[in-house]
Structure 1
Amino acid sequence: MEALARRSLKMCPFLRRTVPATLRSLSTSPSGHRASSSLQAIASRCPVMNKAMAVQSARVGRRLSGHRGNQARSHATLAPSYPGIDSGGPFDYKGFYQAALDAKHKDKSYRYFNNINRLAREFPRAHMDAPDDKRVTVWCSNDYLGMSKNPHVLQKMHETLDMYGAGAGGTRNISGHNQHAVELEATLARLHRKEAALVFSSCYVANDATLATLGSKLPDCVILSDSSNHASMIQGIRHSGARKMVFRHNDLDDLEAKLASLPLHTPKIIAFESVYSMCGSIGPIRQICDLADRYGAITFLDEVHAVGMYGPHGAGVAEHLDYDIHAMGHSESASGQKTVMDRVDIITGTLGKAYGCVGGYIAGSAKMVDTIRSLAPGFIFTTSLPPATMAGATVSVEYQMSHNADRILQQLHTRTTKAALQDIGIPVIPNPSHIIPVLVGNAEVAKKASDMLLKDWGIYVQAINYPTVAVGEERLRITPTPGHGQEFRQHLLTALEAVWTELGIRRAETWGGFLGVGQQHPGNEPLWTDAQLGLTTDAIDLDAFAPEKVAGVAAGC
């Protein structure tokens, strides 16, 4: 079928001029469950497709004639769940919404939002509904380094806001292109040692727009996607209309087998992440680059949860893998080999996590970036980020490029918290990153645990359930920051011990190694080594590393 589609694309002027999104809109009715007459009407005027449709219609008619009883029963089953389908009257939209929400409530995956208002001057504390409410401690923020309250960032944003106002005024090509965008993109390109960078409203949009554009424009492109990739990449691949091949998470053998099955001349994109945010695993970047070179692919690396957090300048895991080389300002090893970061073709990142602002970006070759800038609807038709946001993000990136103290202290707090949780039997999913996933294994219980922590202990840790994680793998996701010192950590440990006991949640030893809980596996050692953190002895009191002491360690990096 795919071969026929490719031949049709070459022969048919309509298909050659039509983007995949248009075809999807023509081929799907508003109710989403039957073919639209729009595409059929166009196809009926084609001398080839008209005959093919007639033959196919006859085949379908013969096949369905023996199954009408089953079909009727099937629609009878659908009707109660989705009122209004084939009822003879107008579609019951409210009934559809209610059925969809009822299903979410039934499987306990319905999402509740807590009103959490983080306080810049009391980080990592927050208030709930009103400023004078009792304070809660936030343990699940992606503001990993507390840069949202950094005084240098705030001062720059205040100055820019006063001078240039609240909004950008339009899209980049109309009135939203300015000195702040130019400076931010130059800074990001320098961070990743790439020729160019392009800023988007979010990294979700950056991933979606870039993969959709490349996948649809590269002829016969195939995108190979890690099975644990973020929804933004999955959506971008879907929007591209390109052929997709999913390889098992971090499985190099499976990836190579799929690459080897494709012709060398076929354009191929390997899409993967450096830090997978819900489990904390690290992608094998160097080995994937090796496979890309061998099989003629380009690499698309999402560093969203790694930028600011790894490497001597905070450029991410790809930089961290050659820590000493980049710390000395070099771009290759003594033997002349390129660094891992230089080998990656496309790097995407966010300004909304470790950098404490908002926005996303891509970085790569000048021609690749210009291609996305010129062709991606997600960039062309989106209003630019406000000047104050871009100016603040620039300062944040530059600050982390020249200061290691925040990420060192964050890593020390992560190590201490992981070890303390494991000591009291809390089931931590092991990984080498700064993420601390605590396994619960039940959506309803995870929600209860989150609610109890907030109500009874003043601790905010959001429950994570399907579809973010698989059913049966529900968890709490804890992310220490430089501000989560000993007092906060001890309070967390006491609270989790009490909640686990009251709800009867399984301890680490009862999981039998599920998701690695309770086990030590090679590859789960922290990505930051003791030497990189400035630790010189095996037995060390991490609480002794006050921020000012860490700053002294970082100065020698």
Structure 2
Amino acid sequence: MYQSILRQQLELLKSSNQYRTFTTLSRICGQYPLAKLEGAPDTPVVVWCSNDYLGMSQHPLVRQQMHWALETYGAGSGGSRNIGGSHELYARLESSLADWHEKEAALVFPTGFGSNDATLQCLLRQIPDCVVASDERNHASIVNGIRATPNERRVFRHNDVDELEQILSAYPVDRPKLVVFESIYSMDGDIAPIAQIVKIAKRFNALTYLDEVHAVGMYGPRGAGIAAKLGIADQVDIIQGTMAKAIGVIGGYITSTQTLIDAVRSFATGFIFTTSLPPAITAGCLASIEHLKTSSCEREQLHRSSGTLRERLRQHDIPVMRCSQTHVLPVLVGDAERCKAAAHRLLNVHGIYLQPINSPSVPVGTERFRVNATPNHDLNQIDHLAASLRETFDHFAIPLASQASAAEVA
């Protein structure tokens, strides 16, 4: 009976084009963004949708420090930090993160998903009667953390500061409130009105929780994110980030006051009862962050490459969605079946890996490719991508930018 129920659910997923499959790619160290495709090892493909935004997973310094830590400390951490002990590398990494965001303290988690999920659950359970206001396009990790608590929750329209103000104004000033939002939204590439949100939150005595996972390393002084770029990081109560994207390794973190960090460390079950990052991973994260604090060449090249890619796509009439303001370039397809077919053709005909983004990750009718250049993509690869997308769009009669709605594409 149980197998039958699960099979039915899987068939529904497949029939709606929401079933996910893995493409087996083996990245080639030192040759990023090239990877070997399973079954065709002699012809590398070019990866165009990795979150390794700056190619730091390949950086010699990061790899060197990971090798050093592996040979010095071994492979695993031995358990949670409460049971296995808290390695000195964790303290150094958390100190570096707190310095990066100019906060009093930081706390590291094994993943970015876990840092959002565990922290939000903890805060909402520990702060009595706290109401949470969440942007409608917040990441699944944020949604998961909020839904796991019985707290009253309100969802405001994406980046709509007027609706947020209406929500917060409906509660007494002394009622605990938490506003949760992101700086850069990964599927649209747009930027939140951070300054306005923070101003409104302060007016109504609400804590602010900002997810900067798609910004850290790439924006602001020393790569500390959008809030730092705007000069208002000190006004944001909690900044959350990841070490799996621009930093190039894995792990999540939060930064805030010493008291808040200590509370999450002491009460968050998602932190207390999980194995800590291995020393080699921690060393790699620390090396990457310290490098990005002082080196701007990677992010400068990222933004140059992103600008070149955006222009090449425009020249080939490829519909980049108007919402994009950042390095994330959402290319509109608008149909789940054609999006999957186009991805297959790009991979097998043109040697380009782009993952189709379909519902429920994005609304039905806005299916897309989420494209991003890195400092490692050269001009030939950028030109090849633009030409290949145009050939693929023509092949499947996918509407071009000149044929799509002006409200949707630039």
TM-score (norm 1): 0.73
Per mean C-alpha deviation after superposition, the further-off stretch among 242-251 and 418-427 is 418-427
Per mean C-alpha deviation after superposition, the further-off stretch among 171-180 and 298-307 is 171-180
Alignment counterpart, residue 458 of structure 1, candidates 331, 347, 351: 351
Amino acid at match of 2:131: V
Alignment counterpart, residue 468 of structure 1, candidates 361, 374, 381: 361
SS in 1 for 2:393: helix
Deviation string 1:33-92 (CA, Å, 9 cap, x unpaired) is: xxxxxxxxxxxxxxxxxxxxxxxxxxxxxxxxxxxxxxxxxxxxxxxxxxxxxxxxxxx1
Deviation at 1:293, TM superposition (A): 1.1
Q: Is the 8 A contact 2:312 2:383 kept in 1?
A: no
Alignment counterpart, residue 190 of structure 1, candidates 90, 99, 106: 99
Deviation at 1:226, TM superposition (A): 0.3
Task: Quote the Cα distance in structure 2 between the aligned partners of 1:263 and 1:154.
Answer: 52
Query: Are 2:136 and 1:220 aligned?
Result: no
User: What is the match of residue 490 of structure 1?
Assistant: 383
User: What is the match of residue 32 of structure 2?
Assistant: 123
Deviation string 1:450-478 (CA, Å, 9 cap, x unpaired) is: 11000001100100011111111110010
Unaligned runs of 5+ in 2: none
Q: Is the 8 A contact 2:316 2:387 kept in 1?
A: no
Query: Are 2:24 and 1:93 aligned?
Result: no
Task: Quote the Cα distance in structure 2 between the aligned partners of 1:283 and 1:120.
Answer: 35
Deviation at 1:130, TM superposition (A): 6.2
Alignment counterpart, residue 286 of structure 1, candidates 184, 195, 210: 195
User: What is the match of residue 317 of structure 2?
Assistant: 425
Task: Quote the Cα distance in structure 1 between the aligned partners of 2:66 and 2:405.
Answer: 50
Task: Quote the Cα distance in structure 2 between the aligned partners of 1:480 and 1:385.
Answer: 29
User: What is the match of residue 84 of structure 2?
Assistant: 175
SS in 2 for 1:313: helix
SS in 2 for 1:175: coil
SS in 2 for 1:180: helix
User: What is the match of residue 341 of structure 2?
Assistant: 448
Deviation string 1:261-314 (CA, Å, 9 cap, x unpaired) is: 111111000000000000001011111110111000010000000010101201
Query: Are 2:238 and 1:346 aligned?
Result: yes
Query: Are 2:309 and 1:400 aligned?
Result: no
Aligned ranges 1:192-207 → 2 under 5 Å: 192-207=101-116
Aligned ranges 1:410-421 → 2 under 5 Å: 410-421=302-313
Deviation at 1:512, TM superposition (A): 1.9
Amino acid at match of 2:113: Y
User: What is the match of residue 9 of structure 1?
Assistant: none
Aligned ranges 1:126-525 → 2 under 5 Å: 126-129=35-38, 132-322=41-231, 340-430=232-322, 431-515=324-408, 517-518=409-410
Deviation at 1:135, TM superposition (A): 0.3
Task: Quote the Cα distance in structure 2 between the aligned partners of 1:472 and 1:164.
Answer: 50
Deviation at 1:213, TM superposition (A): 0.8
SS in 2 for 1:223: strand
User: What is the match of residue 16 of structure 2?
Assistant: 107
Change (3 A) 1:176 1:136: farther
Q: Is the 8 A contact 2:122 2:267 kept in 1?
A: yes
Amino acid at match of 1:106: S
Return the structure number with greater strand share: 2
SS in 2 for 1:499: helix
User: What is the match of residue 552 of structure 1?
Assistant: none
Task: Quote the Cα distance in structure 2 between the aligned partners of 1:480 and 1:364.
Answer: 32
Task: Quote the Cα distance in structure 2 between the aligned partners of 1:163 and 1:154.
Answer: 14
SS in 2 for 1:160: helix
SS in 1 for 2:148: helix
Task: Quote the Cα distance in structure 1 between the aligned partners of 2:57 and 2:407.
Answer: 36
Q: Is the 8 A contact 1:148 1:357 kept in 2?
A: yes
SS in 2 for 1:141: coil
Task: Quote the Cα distance in structure 1 between the aligned partners of 2:115 and 2:79.
Answer: 18
Task: Quote the Cα distance in structure 2 between the aligned partners of 1:316 and 1:295.
Answer: 25
Amino acid at match of 1:193: E
Root mean square deviation, CA, Å: 1.0
Change (3 A) 1:411 1:371: same
Return the structure number with greater helix share: 1
Deviation at 1:132, TM superposition (A): 3.6
SS in 2 for 1:352: coil
SS in 2 for 1:111: coil
Q: Is the 8 A contact 1:176 1:383 kept in 2?
A: no
TM-score (norm 2): 0.98
Deviation string 1:153-176 (CA, Å, 9 cap, x unpaired) is: 000000110111110001010114
Amino acid at match of 1:445: R
Amino acid at match of 1:133: D
Deviation at 1:513, TM superposition (A): 2.2
Q: How many residues align?
A: 409
Task: Quote the Cα distance in structure 1 between the aligned partners of 2:277 and 2:40.
Answer: 28
Q: Is the 8 A contact 1:214 1:240 kept in 2?
A: no
Change (3 A) 1:488 1:176: farther
Deviation at 1:131, TM superposition (A): 8.4
Task: Quote the Cα distance in structure 1 between the aligned partners of 2:321 and 2:379.
Answer: 22
Task: Quote the Cα distance in structure 1 between the aligned partners of 2:31 and 2:92.
Answer: 31
Amino acid at match of 1:242: N
Task: Quote the Cα distance in structure 2 between the aligned partners of 1:511 and 1:459.
Answer: 24
Amino acid at match of 1:246: V
User: What is the match of residue 539 of structure 1?
Assistant: none
SS in 2 for 1:276: coil
Deviation string 1:10-38 (CA, Å, 9 cap, x unpaired) is: xxxxxxxxxxxxxxxxxxxxxxxxxxxxx
Which runs of at least 4 in structure 1 moved beyond 4 Å after TM superposition? none
Deviation string 1:387-421 (CA, Å, 9 cap, x unpaired) is: 00001100100000000000010001101111111
